[in-house]
Structure 1
Amino acid sequence: MSEVMLRLSGLKKTYKKGQTGEVTVLDGADLELARGEMVALVAPSGAGKSTLLHIAGLLDTPDAGTVEIGGVDMTGLSDRRRTVARRQDVGFIYQFHHLLPEFTACENVVLPQLADGVPRGEALTRACDLLARVGVGERADHRPSAMSGGEQQRVAFCRALANEPRLLLADEPTGNLDPATSDQVFDTLVELVRGTGLSALIATHNLELAARMDRVVRLDQGRVVPG
């Protein structure tokens, strides 16, 4: 039986709307993600994909329900312990790369490792290895502004994997790119995930990309259902 890397149970999340109204985004959402599994999460804009990912990645807390990563219930942890778990166990990729503009590609991949206590020499070696693996090794000394959109997103992939997380969460990771570049960058992401044995939950509007993953789920009225 495959080990469950991510288990979301009964997640509920409601936001205030205006002075008196409320909108329920998640209403008892359940999801299990096995070790090494790639799952696509599809839903229209505003259906709650980002909310689900933020809760799964410990960036937000649910109103009810639990989040388990690697069998550990993260829901009731202190902010400090959640921060440590997020830094060590979870890699997050956004639609926009969010690289630090004043640092080079290599430095952007080194910094999260230094924050986790990795010696600088070891961090540099891992950063160079990751950048080479995704085909931007020769751009290691370039700042994001001197790189193409596809190159920037590849560096963002490396940054997300810098601390060797067990779980990768991606929110429309190729949504900011043109179709041809999107396909190339997505190929790179799949190779990275498969090569490292990561579990990955990837939100995407692109049904062709979604079909290349192990399975597809979607959000329907606040719940996760088969795609």
Structure 2
Amino acid sequence: MSDPVLSLKGIEKIYNRGKEAEIAVLRGVDLDLARGEIVALVAPSGAGKSTLLHIAGLLDTADAGQVSIGGEVMTGLGDRRRTIARRRDVGFVYQFHHLLPEFSALENIVLPQLADGAARSEANARAQELLTHVGVGPRAGHRPSAMSGGEQQRVAFCRALANRPRLLLADEPTGNLDPETSDQVFATLLGLVRDTGLSALIATHNLELAARMDRVLRLEHGRLVPG
């Protein structure tokens, strides 16, 4: 069996509030995410979903435990190596699109590719291909302010996949949209992930959306349990 794309072993995270108060948000989280698998992460607000995603995506460090991506142990790596791994191996999608307002949809997808050393012509072609794939190709030259919320989030999906990561982490990716748009945009995200063979860990409050994924995990009292 090949190595899981994402492996979390014994992840713990404790926040200190005041001189004596400690809050254990994660209490020994274990997770193996297989290649091509889409897993829903369900938990109430404040339970630690975002913290877990940030640790998995190397944006934060755990107080204990080990993070591996593609079979490579990431725990203990220096900042430069972690930055490279984030840029090449991990794609992020958030509840709000966080697109750069002064750039067009196409440019928002081109920029992370240029940062990773891609030629502009290749980056432009990749960006246009992704935008077309999610149905907003004709909007490539528009800035975010001229696009609907659903269109902006589709662009954010494309940006997350621009550098062909092996892992997608999404934190309430449709939570800022109305129910009808949310359903449409989520279907786009699932199709994009399936078509590219990505592995994905997607945090959501929406149990109907969670049920459309391969597996549902619930974060309870700092540990993952089957949903």
The normalised TM-score by structure 2 is 0.99
Once residues 18 and 133 of structure 1 are traced to their aligned partners in structure 2, the CA distance between those partners, rounded to angstroms, is 49
Gaps of 5+ in 2: none
Of all paired residues, the percent bearing the same amino acid is 77
1:22-63 C-alpha deviation (Å, 9 max, x unpaired): 111001011110000000000000000000000000000000
Secondary structure (helix, strand or coil) at the match of 2:8 reads: strand
In structure 2, the residue matched to 1:14 is: 14
1:53-112 C-alpha deviation (Å, 9 max, x unpaired): 000000000000000000000001110000000000000000000000000000000000
Structure-to-structure mapping, 1:23-102, within 5 angstroms: 23-102=23-102
Letter paired with 1:24:
A
The normalised TM-score by structure 1 is 0.99
Q: Does 1:211 align with 2:211?
A: yes
In structure 1, the residue matched to 2:106 is: 106
Which region of structure 1 is more displaced relative to structure 2, 113-122 or 217-226? 217-226
Q: Does 1:199 align with 2:192?
A: no
Once residues 34 and 204 of structure 1 are traced to their aligned partners in structure 2, the CA distance between those partners, rounded to angstroms, is 20
Once residues 128 and 204 of structure 1 are traced to their aligned partners in structure 2, the CA distance between those partners, rounded to angstroms, is 28
Once residues 19 and 146 of structure 1 are traced to their aligned partners in structure 2, the CA distance between those partners, rounded to angstroms, is 48
Q: Does 1:140 align with 2:140?
A: yes
Once residues 132 and 32 of structure 2 are traced to their aligned partners in structure 1, the CA distance between those partners, rounded to angstroms, is 32
Letter paired with 1:221:
H
1:122-154 C-alpha deviation (Å, 9 max, x unpaired): 000000000000001011000001100000000
Once residues 15 and 178 of structure 1 are traced to their aligned partners in structure 2, the CA distance between those partners, rounded to angstroms, is 33
Once residues 7 and 209 of structure 1 are traced to their aligned partners in structure 2, the CA distance between those partners, rounded to angstroms, is 24
Secondary structure (helix, strand or coil) at the match of 1:4 reads: coil
Q: How many residues align?
A: 227
Once residues 6 and 44 of structure 1 are traced to their aligned partners in structure 2, the CA distance between those partners, rounded to angstroms, is 23
Deviation at 1:17, TM superposition (A): 1.6
Once residues 53 and 59 of structure 2 are traced to their aligned partners in structure 1, the CA distance between those partners, rounded to angstroms, is 8
In structure 2, the residue matched to 1:115 is: 115
Letter paired with 1:184:
Q
Once residues 19 and 110 of structure 2 are traced to their aligned partners in structure 1, the CA distance between those partners, rounded to angstroms, is 44
Letter paired with 2:8:
L
Once residues 182 and 203 of structure 2 are traced to their aligned partners in structure 1, the CA distance between those partners, rounded to angstroms, is 14
Secondary structure (helix, strand or coil) at the match of 1:76 reads: coil
Deviation at 1:179, TM superposition (A): 0.2
In structure 2, the residue matched to 1:162 is: 162
Once residues 2 and 84 of structure 1 are traced to their aligned partners in structure 2, the CA distance between those partners, rounded to angstroms, is 23
Divergent runs of 4+, >4 A: none
1:164-213 C-alpha deviation (Å, 9 max, x unpaired): 00000000000000000000000000000000000000000000000000
